[in-house]
Structure 1
Amino acid sequence: MKKLFLFSLVALAFSSCAAIDNFTTYTEGTKITKDELDSIVVNKSSKSDLEAKFGAPSRISSSNECEMWHYDFVKISSFSPNINDSNVFCINKKGIVIKKLKAKTKSNNPLLR
């Protein structure tokens, strides 16, 4: 009986930690996994493919070469490492993805350092 009680107590403690982590985790933006990033093919995928797969970008900027779509993602957690990254897709005038990259971005937020 003592072993069952002890086992139940330990199980409750671990399940509480999982619930607390979900409660204390802040996320914002679009998380793009490596597999999802790999599914976008340079010189083949289009702007509409990005919209269908990831939705609207967090921000759009331009260069002489292309329009850059940024998909930013932030995760701040009490119990796991914080994440601050951005996926950038360079789209030419024909609407085709000509470059893609995943970057860790810098932030002035002390929680993301």
Structure 2
Amino acid sequence: MKYILWIFLGFILSACYQKGLEVNQNKLDTIIIGKSTQEDVEKIIGHPVRKTNIGNKEIWYYDFTRITSLPGFDKDESTVFEFNKKGVVVKKYKTQGSGNGNPLLN
């Protein structure tokens, strides 16, 4: 009976869809506004999922989506870094995701 429970629990936890790159709080905290550069961000977190230029800023997005079979463990977020012309971080934040519109995340 004990083994059946472990097998069932393993199946439940493995029934998961995941896409993108999750940025945990520890990594986010190592990026210093006004000091860290694009190279620093790429070394610590990796290559961004997407990039955009708006005005004088380059914006990097690290989108992450996880859908599980367990309620409360789903996640849809984007970690965003804004850089000035010199490639230095001027802003960092998390948003409510990439807006993929998946009804399982609402």
TM-score, normalised to structure 1, is 0.83
2:93 aligned with 1:108: no
Which runs of structure 2 are paired with 1:75-86 in the superposition (5 Å)?
75-80=66-71, 81-86=73-78
| Pairs aligned (count) | 104
Whole-angstrom distance in 2 between the partners of 1:53 and 1:18: 33
| Structure 1 counterpart of 2:15 | 24
CA distance 1:39–1:18, shift in 2 (3 Å): farther
Q: Deviations over 1:56-102 (max 9, x none)?
A: 11111121141100000100000142100000000111111110001
Kindly, what percent of the aligned residue pairs are identical? Answer: 33
Residue matched to 1:3: none
- Is the CA contact (8 Å cut-off) linking 2:32 and 2:89 kept in structure 1? yes
Larger fraction in strand: 2
Q: Write out aligned runs for 1:51-90 (5 A).
A: 51-80=42-71, 81-90=73-82
- Following superposition, which runs of at least 4 residues in structure 1 exceed 3 angstroms of deviation? none
Within 1, Cα distance between the matches of 2:8 and 2:78? Answer: 29
Give the structure with the higher percent helix: 1
| Structure with larger Rg | 1
- RMSD value over aligned CA atoms? 1.5
Q: Which moved more, 1:38-47 or 1:50-59?
A: 50-59
Does the aligned pair in 1 maintain the 2:13–2:69 contact within 8 Å? no
Tell me the TM-score normalised to structure 2 length.
Answer: 0.88
Cα deviation per residue 1:10-69 (whole Å; 9 max; x = unaligned)? x32442233113431111111111111111100011100111112111111121141100
For structure 1, list consecutive stretches of 5 or more residues without a partner in the other structure: 1-8
